[in-house]
Amino acid sequence: MIKLNCWAALLGGAALANVASASIVEHIVRTQDAGVDVIAYPMGANDVITVRGSLPAGDSYAAAANIAAASITGFMLDKGTTRQNKFAIAKQLDDAGAQMAFNVGAQMVSVQARFLKKDLPLVVRLMAEELRTPAFSAEEFAKAKTQFEASVRENQQSTDQRADEALSRAIFPVGHPNRKHSAKEWLEAADKLTVEDLKAFHQKYYGPAYFTLVFVGDINASQIQQEVGKAFAGWAGGVGVVRTVSRDAVPAAHEEVVQVAGKESVSVSLGQSIGLRYQDPDTLALSVGTLILGSDFTSRLMSTVRNQEGLTYGIGAQILGDTFVDGSWAIEATFAPQLLDRGITSTQRELLKWWQGGVSAAELEARKTNVIGSYQVSLATTGGMASAILRTVNNGKPLTWLDEYRTAIQALTVDQVNTAIKKYLNPDHMVLIKAGSLASK
C-alpha cells in the first residue's frame, strides 16, 4: 500500500492560504427598504434563493403574566391574514414549491424561506402580508392552543430538552431571556391567553425598526429592494433588542435530577452562566478554548470519554444564548444509566484538567485551522451564508466581521484562551443536571 506520512503538514498550509484570499463583504449589498434592513449576497447560479430574517418579538418580550403570547403570536402568523385564509396562502406557496416558516426564539422571531428565483415577488409579498396582517381568528386560535399544548407535552418527553430546561432555570434568574419556562408555566399561560392578548402583542412588537432580511443565492439586489420596498411600504413600529439584563448572584454548585419515565439513555448538562456576550472581547477566546474541550472527534471530551473510554455516543461543550445577552456555558452528554456515574466522573476529570492546565499551543494552532476550514465549508451553501450574515448582524458585529473573523481567529494566543477559561468559568460553580429514568438513591 502507498505510504504517505507527511501530507497533513504540507496540505494544512495550502488550505489556509486558500481560504484567506476571498472577500465576502465586498459582494454584499445592504440597503434600507421601507424601513427594513435588507442584505443581499449573490451566490451560485442554481436558480435558488434562501432567506434568513429576524425581528425582536420573541418570548422574552411577553409579559410575565402572559408568557405564551409571543410563541402563539408567532405560531399564528401563517394561519391566515385579514385578506385571505391559510389555505389560500399555502396554495400559492405549495404551487410554487416555495418554503416559508416562522419560528419564535427567546429574543427573535425568525423567518426562513427557500424558493426558486422566479417566485421572489410572491414570497416577499406573502411574507409581508403574514407579518403585518395576521388574522388571529378565534377558530385558528383554538387550534393553535391545542398544537401548543402538544408541543409542550412532547418536549417533556425529551431528556435533552428537560436537562437543558433545568440547567437554564438553575443558572439564570426569573426574567432573564435565557431562562426557560417550565411546562406547567407554559400550559397555564396558554390556557389564560386570549385573542386580544395576541393582537395587542403583535401591535406592540411587530414592525420594521429592527427587522433584518438576508437574501442569498441567484439574486438581483435591485429587484429584492424593489419587492421589499413595495411589500412592506407603510409598515411602522418595532422595538429594539434587549442587550442588558440584571444579574443575580451566581448559584452555588449543586446537582438536580429530572425524572423522565421510560428512557434508556440519560441526558446530562453541566454548566454555568458566564456573563459574556458574543461581542465582548474575550468571547472568541473562550469559544475556541471550548471547541478544544468539546466539539469534534479530536476534541478532548470526544477523544477521551467517547473514543478511549466508550462511555457515550455524544458529548460536547458550547457557549449558548450569548447573541444579545449574557450567555451560558455547558457540557452536554448522554449516558446509559449503568455508565452514568463513570461518565460524569470522566467528564469532570477532563473539565478540571482543561480548566486548570489550559490548552497547549499545538492544540490552539490545530483548532485555528479547523475553525477556519469549517467556516469556509459552512459558507458554501446559500443557507450557510445567509445564516452567517444574519448571525453577524444579530451578534452586533459589522458585516466586515465576515471577512475579519478568520484573521481574528488566527490572532488568538494561548494566553488569551487560557485567561478567558479561568476568568469566566469555574467548575466549583457549575450545576449538574441528570435527566432520564434514574433509580432513586
Partner 1 sequence: MLKTSLVFNAVVALALMASVAQAAPDASTSVTVAGFSHIKSVGGIDEYRLDANGLTVLLKPDHSAPVVTFQVTYRVGSRNEVTGTTGATHILEHLMFKGSEHYSQAAGNGVDQYLGKMGAHFNATTWLDRTNYYATLGRDGLEGYIAIEADRMRNLWLHEADRQAEMTVVRNEYERFENDPGAALQAEVWATAFQAQPYHHNTLGWKSDIERVPIEKLRQFYDTFYWPDNAIVSLIGDVDPAKGLALVKHYYGAIPHSPRPIPEIYTEEPLQSGARRLTLKRAGELGAIEIAWKGPSGRDADLPALTVLGSILSVGDNSRLYRALVDKSLATSANANIEPDHDPGLFEATAGLAPGATHEQVEKAILAEIGKVQRDGVTGEEVKRAISQYRAQRAYGRDGTAGIAGELNEWIATGDWTLFVTQIDKIAHVTPADVQRVAQKYLNEDQSTTGWFVPTVEKRT
Of 9-38, which residues contact partner 1 (CB under 8 A)?
10-12, 14-15, 18-19, 22
Report if residue 408 touches partner 1, rule: CB under 8 A: no
How far apart, in Å, are the Cα atoms of 321 and each of 67, 68, 149, 177, 211? 19, 20, 25, 9, 20
Which residue among 383, 410, 423, 429 contacts partner 1 (CB under 8 A)? 383
Please answer whether residues 290 and 329 qualify as being in contact, where contact means their C-beta atoms are separated by less than 8 angstroms: yes
**In the stretch 139-158, what mask flags binding to partner 1 with x, by CB under 8 A?**
---xx--xx-xxx-xx-xxx
Which residue among 41, 115, 205, 401 contacts partner 1 (CB under 8 A)? 115
CB of 19 vs partner 1, minimal distance in Å = 6
**In the stretch 314-343, what mask flags binding to partner 1 with x, by CB under 8 A?**
x-------------------xxx--x----
147 vs 203, beta carbon nearer partner 1: 147
CB of 408 vs partner 1, minimal distance in Å = 15
86 vs 423, beta carbon nearer partner 1: 86
Which residue among 1, 64, 138, 236 contacts partner 1 (CB under 8 A)? 1
Report how far residue 36's alpha carbon sits from residue 53's, in angstroms, rounded to the nearest whole number. 10
Report if residue 378 touches partner 1, rule: CB under 8 A: yes
Which residue among 39, 62, 72, 371 contacts partner 1 (CB under 8 A)? 371
Can you read off the three cell numbers belonging to residue 330? 455547558
Report if residue 138 touches partner 1, rule: CB under 8 A: no
Site for partner 1 in 37-76 (CB under 8 A): 43-48, 50
153 vs 247, beta carbon nearer partner 1: 153
371 vs 412, beta carbon nearer partner 1: 371
107 vs 334, beta carbon nearer partner 1: 334
Please answer whether residues 53 and 114 qualify as being in contact, where contact means their C-beta atoms are separated by less than 8 angstroms: no
Site for partner 1 in 208-237 (CB under 8 A): 217
How far apart, in Å, are the Cα atoms of 339 and each of 142, 297, 331? 45, 20, 17
Which residue among 51, 62, 76, 93 contacts partner 1 (CB under 8 A)? 93
Report how far residue 265's alpha carbon sits from residue 215's, in angstroms, rounded to the nearest whole number. 41
Report if residue 264 touches partner 1, rule: CB under 8 A: yes
- DSSP reduced 3-state for 198: helix
Q: Give burial (CB, 10 Å; 0-12/13-18/19+) of 206.
A: buried
8 vs 249, beta carbon nearer partner 1: 8
Axis-axis angle for helices 361-378, 283-293 (nearest 10): 100
4 vs 236, beta carbon nearer partner 1: 4
11 vs 233, beta carbon nearer partner 1: 11
Which residue among 3, 64, 252, 281 contacts partner 1 (CB under 8 A)? 3
CB of 4 vs partner 1, minimal distance in Å = 5
Which residue among 380, 407, 413, 422 contacts partner 1 (CB under 8 A)? 380
CB of 185 vs partner 1, minimal distance in Å = 17
CA 66 to chain centre: 24
CA 176 to chain centre: 17
Q: Which residue has the cell 433509580?
A: 439
Report how far residue 357's alpha carbon sits from residue 284's, in angstroms, rounded to the nearest whole number. 19
Please answer whether residues 246 and 175 qualify as being in contact, where contact means their C-beta atoms are separated by less than 8 angstroms: yes
Alpha-helical runs (H) found in 76-172: 86-96, 120-132, 138-155, 159-171
* Residues with Cβ within 8 Å of residue 356, at least 6 apart in sequence: none
E strand or H helix at 273: strand 266-273
Report if residue 96 touches partner 1, rule: CB under 8 A: yes
CB of 263 vs partner 1, minimal distance in Å = 5
Which residue among 4, 64, 249, 252 contacts partner 1 (CB under 8 A)? 4
Report if residue 349 touches partner 1, rule: CB under 8 A: no
Report how far residue 89's alpha carbon sits from residue 130's, in angstroms, rounded to the nearest whole number. 9
Please answer whether residues 257 and 434 qualify as being in contact, where contact means their C-beta atoms are separated by less than 8 angstroms: yes
Q: Which residue has the cell 452528554?
A: 333
